[in-house]
Amino acid sequence: MRLKIVQVGEPVLRQEARKLDTAEIQSREIQELIEWMRETMYDAPGVGLAAPQIGLPLQLAVIEDKPEYLRDIAPEILKLRERKAVGFHAIINPTITLDESEQVEFFEGCLSLPGFTGLVSRARRVRVECLDFSGQPNVIDASGWYARILQHEIDHLHGTVYIDRMQPRTFMSLENFNRSWKDHTIAAVKERLKL
């Protein structure tokens, strides 16, 4: 079942999501919800989807960066972004620890703000402690693009969207980004935009 993705401006995207207990996680309703979120994420398509994005203030997100999403990206860009395929999984009630020693900047988009992008600085490495889809404890140590996805989705669970973190002068339509900026380095973009 494909769910409706709510757009920026909906109050649910600006509130703190509530935690789920183990019985809720293991319930048929939440297990079905995880599968519906997976289908919705695939259909969008996206690499992550948080429950607030479908109108539910729950600390639940699904993530998958499929190998086919990487096929049309130049190897040097994949290397620069430290982007590799990530298998499907759910994160529930996550707490995140950022390694603040190294920040990286890349353009991000969001299924709740389609057609736009902006330059966002994020920690290169993170540790996430959470529950998995069955309610079991899980620890994820991630770096590069996967760390960025985790930070983006966990932000949604706390009422934050990427436009709150982006460099405002870099906000643009994807059409303009693809036409004028996508082949530039981040340093060149910042220089041209006088950041």
Q: Which residues are catalytic?
A: 153
DSSP label of 76: H
- Name residue 99's beta-bridge partners: 125
- Name residue 129's beta-bridge partners: 95, 139
- For residue 186, CA distances in Å to 159, 170, 182, 183, 194 come to 27, 11, 9, 9, 12
How far out from the chain centre does Cα 157 lie? Answer: 11
CA-based end-to-end distance of the chain: 43
The amino acid that residue 138 corresponds to is N
Neighbouring residues of 7: CB distance < 8 A, sequence distance ≥ 6: 112, 113, 114
The amino acid that residue 155 corresponds to is D
